[in-house]
Structure 1
Amino acid sequence: MAISLQKGQKVDLTKSNPGLTKIVIGLGWDVNKYDGGKDFDLDAAAFMLNADGKVMEDKNFVFYNNPKSPDGSVMHTGDNRSGIGDGDDEQIKVDLGIVPTGISKISFGITIHEAKERNQNFGQVSNAYVRVLNEASGEELIRYDLGEDFSVETAVVVGELYRNNAEWKFNAIGSGYQNGLAGLCKDFGLDV
């Protein structure tokens, strides 16, 4: 049975699931009734961070335009441009066993594509969640439902995997940004 987290909660991932190395980060959302006349496109991304919380090279920023990290440990499975339908809207696969030792943390974010130009924000999004699945079995291990705490934000860091000695843990973050993908990238040490 999946562990349901609240904002700020942390949980062991590999310690409580011995032998687990391949996981899927599933991200999902729905768009509230929206009649702005433009598509509403949310995008998932993963930031592979060093001990200082920075991305050391652009290729360690994994998203629809860079779907795979150089070492193959993190892979975006594809861009969903509508969010329509049940289940995960986008997924990112992580092979914990081959994440380079210089990577201390992998942060996962959701951004709204062209949010400023389209006058869109997370106040128009509902049922957003992140979940961690065992890739081999499909079993949901961890789930964090973000709730409706956002209004003007155009990007959200939903959660992060982080190393704790030889184990991996998951932290439910739920932190919003008003300056979209550019703001996330800047905070993680990338120039856009």
Structure 2
Amino acid sequence: MPVCLQKGQKVSLTKDNPGLTKVVVGIGWDINQYDTGTSFDLDSSAFLLTGAGKVSCAEDFVFYGNLKHPSGAVEHLGDNRTGAGAGDDEQIKIDLSKVPANIEKIAFTVTIYDAETRNQNFGQVGNAFVRIYNEATGEEMMRYDLGEDFSIETAAVFGELYKHGSEWKFNAIGSGFYGGLAALCANYGVETE
């Protein structure tokens, strides 16, 4: 039975699962029935962060334009441009045994592609969730349903995996950003053009 988290809750992934190294982060959403005149394209990303809460290099930002971290620790399984259908819309594989020693957190975010031009925001997105399951068994370990507390935001941090001693834990964050991917990149120290 997966642990269902509320905003701000933390849970250990590895404490009760010794030897766990490979997990999949599934992220999903539905589009509310608002007609903005154009389709939605949401994009998930992972930021590999040092203790300072910043990336150490551009490759620490894993997204549709950089699908695999050089360490092999994080791999984005591809861009879903519609979000149609049930279940995960995008997935990111994590190999905890390969996470570089200088990385203390991996933040999972979702942005709305070209949100300003398309006049779209997270107030028009429903049923957003992040879940983590064991890659070997397929067993869902935890799930965080974000709820409907967004309005004008065009980017959101869904949650983060983080090291706590020898354990890996998950923190359900659910915080929104205005300014899309550029705002997230600035927050995490990724230089954009």
Q: TM-score, normalised by structure 2?
A: 0.98
Deviation at 1:40, TM superposition (A): 0.3
The amino acid of 1:44's aligned partner reads S
Say whether residues 1:43 and 2:43 are aligned partners.
yes
Structure 1 residues 31-87: Cα deviation after superposition (integer angstroms, max 9, x where no partner): 001322212000000000000000011111000110000111000001000000010
The amino acid of 1:39's aligned partner reads S
Q: Report the count of equivalent residues.
A: 192
2:80 corresponding residue in structure 1: 80
- The structure 1 segments of at least 4 consecutive aligned residues displaced by more than 3 Å after TM superposition are none
Say whether residues 1:166 and 2:155 are aligned partners.
no
The amino acid of 2:141's aligned partner reads L
- Paired with 2:35 and 2:130, the residues of 1 have a C-alpha distance of 26
- Paired with 1:36 and 1:2, the residues of 2 have a C-alpha distance of 35
What's the secondary structure of 1:117's corresponding residue? Answer: helix
The amino acid of 1:162's aligned partner reads Y
2:117 corresponding residue in structure 1: 117
- Paired with 1:139 and 1:179, the residues of 2 have a C-alpha distance of 35
The amino acid of 1:158's aligned partner reads F
The amino acid of 1:182's aligned partner reads A
- Paired with 1:33 and 1:3, the residues of 2 have a C-alpha distance of 30
What's the secondary structure of 1:136's corresponding residue? Answer: coil
- Paired with 2:17 and 2:31, the residues of 1 have a C-alpha distance of 34
Structure 1 residues 3-55: Cα deviation after superposition (integer angstroms, max 9, x where no partner): 00000000111112111100000000000013222120000000000000000
Say whether residues 1:9 and 2:25 are aligned partners.
no
2:30 corresponding residue in structure 1: 30
The amino acid of 1:54's aligned partner reads K
Long gaps (5+) in structure 1: none
Q: What is the correspondence of 1:145-156 to structure 2 with a 5 Å cutoff? A: 145-156=145-156
The amino acid of 1:63's aligned partner reads F
Say whether residues 1:144 and 2:163 are aligned partners.
no
Q: TM-score, normalised by structure 1?
A: 0.99
Structure 1 residues 102-143: Cα deviation after superposition (integer angstroms, max 9, x where no partner): 000000000000001100000000000000000011110000
- Paired with 1:34 and 1:91, the residues of 2 have a C-alpha distance of 26
Q: Percent identity?
A: 63
The amino acid of 2:117's aligned partner reads E
1:69 corresponding residue in structure 2: 69
- Paired with 1:77 and 1:10, the residues of 2 have a C-alpha distance of 25
The amino acid of 2:109's aligned partner reads G
- Paired with 1:56 and 1:99, the residues of 2 have a C-alpha distance of 13
2:190 corresponding residue in structure 1: 190
- Paired with 1:84 and 1:12, the residues of 2 have a C-alpha distance of 31
Structure 1 residues 117-171: Cα deviation after superposition (integer angstroms, max 9, x where no partner): 1000000000000000000111100000000000000000000000011110000
